[in-house]
Amino acid sequence: TAVDGMLFQMLPAFAKELGEYRRKWHRTFHPTTKFSESFVELCDADGKTVKSMRVIKGAPDVIALLANPDAGKGGQLFSRVEKALASAAAAGQRCLGVAHMDIAPPKESGKARAGLGGLERLEGVTELAEAASAKQFGEWHFDGLLLFSDPPRSDAKQAVDDALELGLQVKMVTGDHVSVAKEICHDLGLGHNVV
């Protein structure tokens, strides 16, 4: 994806810290779970797995709920993430949450674990949060937020203006957080009615 491309461009700046991590499998972003996931291993100089973890990035509110499921939407982490998200959106920035789960390394060095340990069977955020609360698959640790700029294309405002001038109704459909959608609608002159 474009976001992954942006992150991979940043890798050289973190090569020293990340050089020994190897991604063993990856599941792309899914609209039901609202995150993507990777299984990564830290290996020593001999190639032996020292540490294994699952890493997720995606909708900040979902990541916050998975990392602190018992507190739910009333928890301090969720509240702080929502405030940071609103602040980022007001500044025209998008935001992704990141969390990791430490897991026991595979018994045989160099072998990646197949599948998601049952996580792939769950449907939607509610079941994921329930599983996280029960610590069914381990415990997620919230690592932080990735902020980045992803403005509308330079010709988008003119296209919207042209369509409105022709008497067309213009609607925007997005999977972004409501605060981000409101900012984009404002930038494009689409009003403030965001559902």
Nearest to 50 by CA among 11, 22, 17: 22
At 99, list the tokens.
């969390």
Judge whether residue 164 has pLDDT over 70: yes
Residue 156 pLDDT more than 60? yes
Which of these ranges, 64-68, 97-101, 139-143, has the smallest mean pLDDT? 64-68
The sheet that has 21-30: what strands, in order across it?
Answer: 21-30, 35-43, 49-58, 93-103, 141-149
Residue 127: pLDDT over 50? yes
User: What are 91's two structure tokens?
Assistant: 């500044």
Mean pLDDT, the chain, rounded, equals: 77
Residue 20 or 26, more confident:
26
Unique residue bearing structure tokens 């957080």: 177
Of 109 and 152, the one with more pLDDT: 152
